[in-house]
Copies of this chain bind each other. A is one copy, B any other.
Amino acid sequence: MLKGVTRAGIGQAGSIESFIQAAAEHGFEAVAAEGKELEQWIADKGFAGAQAFLKEHGVQIGTIGLSVQWRTTEEEFRSGLARLAQDAEAAAALGCTACCTYVLPSTDYSAAHFMALATRRLRTCAQILAPYGIRLGLEFVGPHHLRTRWRNPFIWGLAETLDWIDAIGENNVGLLFDSYHWYTNELGVDDILQLDPSRIVLVHINDAPAVPVEDVLDNDRLFPGEGVIDLAGFLGALNRIGYRGVIAQEILTPQPLTEPSSVLLKRSQEAFRRVYAAAGLE
Contacts and interface: CB of A to CB of B under 8 A. Distances in A.
Interface of A: 77-79, 81-82, 84-86, 88-89, 92, 110-117, 119-120, 123-124, 127-128, 130-132, 152-155, 160, 163-164, 166-167, 169, 171, 198
A81 B91 CA distance: 14
Contacts of A120: 163, 166-167, 169
Leading 5 A-B pairs by shortest Cβ distance: A127-B127, A115-B115, A82-B85, A85-B85, A116-B167
Contacts of A166: 116, 120
A199 to B, nearest CB: 11
B81 A112 contact: no
A158 to B, nearest CB: 12
Q: How many copies does the complex hold?
A: 4
A131 B80 CA distance: 11
24 contacts: A78-B132, A81-B85, A81-B89, A81-B132, A82-B89, A85-B85, A112-B114, A112-B153, A113-B160, A113-B164, A115-B116, A115-B119, A115-B167, A116-B119, A116-B160, A116-B167, A119-B167, A120-B167, A123-B169, A124-B127, A124-B130, A128-B128, A169-B169, A171-B171
A116 B168 CA distance: 8
Interface of A is mostly: helix
A271 to B, nearest CB: 31
A169 B160 CA distance: 20
B124 A155 contact: no
Contact of A198 (B92, B155, B198): B198
A11 to B, nearest CB: 33
Contacts of A110: 111, 153, 155, 160
Contacts of A155: 110, 112-113, 116
